[in-house]
Amino acid sequence: MAATTTAVEELELRARRPVPWAVARGMLRFAYRKPLGAFGAVVAVVLIVVAVLAPQVATHDPNLMAPAESTIGPSADHLMGTDNMGRDIFSRIVYGARVSIQIATLAIAISMTVGTAVGLVSGYLGGKADITIQRFVDTGMAFPTLVLALILVGFFGASIRLLIIALGFVFSPAMSRLVRGSVLSAKQNVYVDAARGLGASDIRIMVRHILPNVMAPIIVVGTAQLGTVILAEASLSFLGFGPPPPNATWGSMLAGESRIYMTVAWWMAVFPGLAITLAVLGFNLLGDALRDVWDPRLRGT
């Protein structure tokens, strides 16, 4: 009887605990179970904070040229040195994080929206409609993502808005294929048959009953794709198809005349390269950890 009372009291105590405490406990458990995922989460949060607070974090104007201070090594005044035009590299990396996070977030939002809609309709309808839609998806996936993005950006022009749209549509076929596979499995469940038997429309079944049950893999893949989109944006900027000047981007910091000075000013290549590597690694580790936590087949690994 005492054990029962103790268990009831424990449940009541947990119910009275504030929400922040429960969130903190969940975060600590996640960090203990997935230390690499926790590292990725910290990197992602730091990048987002730096991107939002770029004017407060940056120590100099990222576009201010000072020829008298060109190729100065890391110092107290310039934490990561200056480039060949005398611009502060740390400040340019900070503002480059804002551009990369903005492009990656909005591009993934487009990818998730378009890919989820296409995959949901294709998987639910099946039959000839599914076959027809998937042939278009196969066509989109036949092109390497970077090549297709180069074609789109080169055809429509280089700007932040067009780059976001191009990257969003480039990554949407892979997202739609993932959603389609999850929908094919989810629509076989009994609750879908029950909803159909009660007279629910196809749209209501897709939106209210199937979509919530396939959101976990969508969020996981979207998180992992953030790093891929950041790398794609940096590659396009390196090739000259990224956001136009005076926008500071990580890829453009490694391109152009900067390559000439890399042998005598190592900091011009190392710090932007580290920023790209850390961002891609952080989002990939976070995505892998979320996949392990939300996938029932991997929770014990």
pLDDT band of 295, cuts 50, 70, 90 = low
Measured CA to CA in angstroms, residue 292 lies from 26, 184, 227, 283 at distances of 15, 22, 18, 14
pLDDT value at residue 109 = 92
Find out if CATH 1.10.3720.10 is the number for domain 39-298: yes
Most confident of 128-137, 151-160, 284-293: 128-137
The pLDDT > 90 percentage for the chain reads 11
Q: What is the pLDDT of residues 84-113, one digit of tens each?
A: 888 899 999 999 999 889 999 999 999 999
pLDDT value at residue 12 = 55
Region 177-198: mean pLDDT is 84
pLDDT value at residue 142 = 82
pLDDT value at residue 2 = 46
- Kindly state the tokens that stand for 234: 């940096």
Lowest mean pLDDT among 63-77, 105-119, 148-162: 148-162
Residue 83 has pLDDT above 90, yes or no: no
The mean predicted confidence, pLDDT, of the chain is: 82
pLDDT value at residue 213 = 83
Q: What is the pLDDT of residues 269-286, one digit of tens each?
A: 889 989 999 999 988 888
pTM of the full structure: 0.81
How far apart are alpha carbons 272 and 237 in whole angstroms? Answer: 12
Segments making up each domain of the chain, as ranges: 39-298
Lowest mean pLDDT among 60-64, 118-122, 260-264: 260-264
pLDDT value at residue 62 = 87
Nearest alpha carbon to residue 287 among 23, 22, 39: 39
Most confident of 27-36, 115-124, 213-222: 115-124
